[in-house]
Each structure stands twice: as C-alpha cells, then as structure tokens.
Structure 1
C-alpha cells in the first residue's frame, strides 16, 4: 500500500484526550483477539529445519547475552547508518507486551527478506511462548542497532496513518455523489493521466472513467482521505438494499505529484490548525472554496475492490511488503534505510501516544523519507483517523538484525 501522511498539527495534538489513548488500546487488542480466534482451529505444518544450524536448546537453559562482549561493527543501509548498541539501551524493552507484535512478525514471515527468513520457523514456534521466552530468544538471536541518518540534522519524526471506514452506495444518490474509481483502461497510455481538476471538469476525462465507479461517497474530503491513506473500508448499500463491507485497495494513480491540501491552506493563510479535523472545519465554513482546495492536489488514486472475510477484517490492508498490517505494530518506513520485514524497536514520547514497543517494517509511503522516519499504522475507523490526523512526535528507531 502506498500512502501519504495525513496533515498534522502539533498544537492540536496537545489537546488530545485520554479517550484517544484508551481507544487505541482497544483497537490493537481487538484485532489480535479476532486474529487468534479465527486461527485457533488451523493446524500449523511441521517446522522445517534450518540448514546449517544445530537444534536450539530449550529457551530456559540458554545463557543470557554477554553484555561485556565486543559489539559488532556499524553497518550502512542505504540512507542510514546502523550503530550497534546493548539491549539495555532500548527504552522499555522489559515492559512491552511482545505477544502483540508477534502476530505482525508471523505475518512478515509470509514474505520474509532473505537475512530474516532463516528465523521464521523459530518465530512461528515462539508465537505461543511466554513473554520471557520471547524476550530471551530475541536477545540471543538478534543484535540491536540504533538507526542514524547519514547527514546530521535530518528530521526524526513519527506520524500516523489509518484505514478509513466510510458509508457508500453502488449508485449515486441525492447525498452520495462522489465516485471512487477503478483505474481507467487507458491509464498506461497517457502519462501523466488527467489531473484532479481535469477529471472534474473535462468531458473526455469523465467519459474515460464512466463505468469504472466502485462506489459513491457523500463527502469529497472523505474520498480525499481515502486516497491519502491508500485504502479503506466501505459499508456499501447495494441496489437491492443489502449493506456489504468491502475494502478498496490502492491500484494506481494518475501520476501527478502529491500536494498537501493542509499545506495549501497554510500558504493561503486560511487556517493555522492544519490537522485533518481543522481542514474539515474549514471546508464546512467555506463550501464555495472546497473545489479550489481539492484541485490544489492534482494527484488522484484509483482503487480495486476486495472482499473482507472475518480474518481479513481483523487486520489492515496489505502493506508494501505484501502482508496485512497489524494495528499498533506495523510501520511504514523508507525502504532505502530499513528493509521490509525488519523488526524495529520504536520509542516516541509525546502528548498523544507514549510509545516504547516492538514494531515491524511492513509498508512505505511517498512522504516517508529519511533514516529516522516512520508512519505508524493506528487501525481503522473515525477514532483511528483522529489519532492518525494528529500524530506528530519525535522518534528513535533501533533495527533488530540477525546476529
């Protein structure tokens, strides 16, 4: 999934209530419980042996890692430098509920990077281990490295993203008239394709999209949010009156550059709170200028429709790694700095969320550029959107790499 960062505002983040934090805990725990319930009756295949390795002794008998041993040399990965550290340097490592992250880690083992693939049989086996056993295994098998930018002064920032949950209709109604489109048939023949303004105003652009509508929404800003996030869930009213829950997933763009509507409003002097709630409030107060604001972002995202099973609904959309995202445990990174599937220790103190936890790099985004830069997958629905729209905090990252 390719997404852009939601507009954020550090001043509005200070006004976030404790209700958001408690909601976030419910989101993450409910996704995990749903996943476990769905998978409880599925028999796992026997684990293959790892070529070239001896059987591991029982976890309880393994000696603790020798913190007095020499550290390995630093590594360079694309735009980042990985500086080796001790496990004791990871803030909060002894307190994290690692089993929550293990679901995301097992998912990454569906499409593991080569250096991490050899660990996957053990990762699967440890999904039912105690937190102490999981922690001891990580210390034995992985080396933590602090992620640093190659250039001093580079931005270190955590933002958030989510999966919108919206109501829609298969056919336009009096209130739902904003279409979401599948890719046009001639998308690859014309590059870039028509801009957002041209799609809204040129007859030939509208003709090329006729019959490509997936559903219609009521609010053009909801459609824009869906395009910014790259995917979403829609409760669709069918022609016979039934309501079905579907996912719309990223399927391409018109290849115009992405421009932040929040940035445009700031440049216009139209508002000082460039968070998503602030943008929506401005749009309600200035309906005659909504199109002008929307057209400031020429980029349009096209979607494909996917059914949502009970198991699918317990996870987010597939990220760029090709595996479903786990709320609170999946991040989007700059893939030139951190490979997909890498376990990462994340620390981000802030007024909105205070995070010290294990996450997995499973996605990317065009706005996620730099060594110490991550987008945090919050979950789905309006409350997750409130968190994602306000999250903007300092960040530290440590990759956990095989020894």
Structure 2
C-alpha cells in the first residue's frame, strides 16, 4: 500500500479559525499528504472569518464558544450532525485521524469502530495540566482518566517528542506511540532575520539584552512563573529587558506583572521571524507543551533557550549546550539560569549557534512522512486482521 492509496478523515477542534502551533502542524501534514496523492477530508468547527485558509477540503461540525472566559476565542466541537455524517459515509475513509479528545473526536471514534476503520490519535497538548491554572487542580485525575479511556480505544498514537511519549506510556495512555516531531521553516526562522532598526523602534538599545517570551498570552503558558522569574532576576540586579511577542486574554495581567516590559503584539510569518531573531535569550517556563514549536523556532533564530525541564523542551534543549533546563516552577532557579546569558556574550553566542545548528535537523517532509507511514501500517494491519477473520469464518463454515 502507498500513501496515495490513503483516504484520511482528519478531525480537529481548531483547524484554522485561531492560529496555534497544533493547527499549523496539522495543515503542514495535510499539505504533505495531498502532495503525495492521498485523499483528505477535514472535519472541524468553521467560523465566518478564520485566521487563515484551510489546507484541504473542510466540512463544518456543530460547535459552541468555549465556556471558559479565558479561552473564549476557541470553539467546543459538539459531535457530528447529519450533514457531517453523510459526508463521512460518502467519503469512505480508510483511516481516521483524531487530533483532539473533544465530543466530536469521541463521536468519530465510535463511528470508526462501528465501521471497522483504524484510528490514529495525535497528542498536541497536556490537557490534564490545564485545570491547575484555573484553580481546579482537583479535576486533573478525572481528566487523565477520560484521556486514558479515549486514547486506549485508538489503534495508535503519535506524539511530538520522546519526553511526551515517555509521559504517555507512564500514564498508561497507550503502548503503540510513534514520534511525530515538528519542523521549522528555516526561511522564516534564522539568525539573519535579526533587525536592529526593529529593535530600536521597540525601545531596545543596541547593547540591551532582550529576554523573549513568545506565545499566546494565557495562564497555562506559565506566565506567572515567567513574571516571578523576572522579579527574581531584577533582585539580582542583572541588566536586561523583556520582549513579549504574542497576544491573548491574559495580556493585561502580564503587562501589570512586568512593568517596563516591551509588548510587541501578535506577529506571524516573516515578521515573527524578525521579532524573534531580534531578541537575545528565549525563556519558556511552560509545562503544557508536548513539543514546544516556539522553542524550536527560537533555536533556529540562534537564541539560547532557558526552559522548564518538562515534556517538549527536554527533548529539544541540550542542557549546557543549547541552553538550560530548569525544574518546572522554580523562579529562583530560572533567574540563576538566565543570569549568565545576560552578562556573558560568548556563552550566549556559543549556545545560540549550537541551537541553530540543531534546528537544521527538523525537516517538515521527513517528519510528516512518519505519520503517513503510520497510517499505512494501521490500514494494512486492519486489512490483514479482516482477511484472517474471513478465512477463519470460511474454515469454520466448512468444518
């Protein structure tokens, strides 16, 4: 079987209406699959004015605004209505890809099982960690139980880093998990994008050391730990400035917590590459990422990285070679790790160069071929099982 023989039904909770790392990866995967000759249909919430045009044919599913104030820009898929089910039946997929354990993903999983079609699930975020950022940590065991039940009903999983694979196995989510890593666009993200005029326009002097935050401004990105760490760094009287790239519902809180910080707002494409390369040190305290696209992009831009030693970053950052890995949540330790990058030019340059060299290993087509190969394996395994069952039934009939 070839990739061109695949008929993939891809289910996403956010395919294109709000730009994020997960749907950027899914759209790149879709582009790769279509270029290989596969047939693809995407089932996801649709809105009148999405952030970008979807890759591939897309069918809308029922949805409502996410019932959490700080996540109000997201939609909650509610299942599959008659239109989506009719289209799914007509499309006749031979593999189902679920990228979110939401109500639509659960319904699609039941449909696949009813039709004896294999299912691959991709893991994009640490959903079970979200409640702790909203004062509801008591919910984590229940969410982990729901995730375990969902993922174990799938035929296999893909996750973006070895550290995330290890976590999923430890949580007993599945025992068939491949690594679907992430790539980086080296045309957009590279050290040559650094722009001194842009820096000056933001209020950065040429000799200022800019510590960069990049991402959506939501609490689960570790904004509280970032702010606490900067406070600790200021107490050490280490000269630096903070450059925040991104926007989101927690922007006002973040600005109040980082007086004097430079907020460059949401950036994308070449403008994002320029803004990121114009920083000096990248700081990512988040523990919710399964990979950390922003960490890889910062490395590609030649920035040393200080990150939480958690899923995602621990598979990207080589401690003491391309940056530092720090125990999650330890603001004092983060400040100590940031300090030498603010004061030692040679260390900053050496670790930044090593990170840029490592980022060259991440090619999107090679990475996406892993998912295509997993699709093929699951379809072939299911067909072999069906044929074995048919032969057993025939033998039983004639015995």
- TM above 0.5, yes or no, is no
Q: Compare the two structures and name the one with the higher strand fraction.
A: 1
Q: Using structure 1 for the length normalisation, give the TM-score.
A: 0.24
Higher relative contact order (CA 8 A, sep 6+): 1
Q: Using structure 2 for the length normalisation, give the TM-score.
A: 0.24
Q: Compare the two structures and name the one with the higher helix fraction.
A: 2
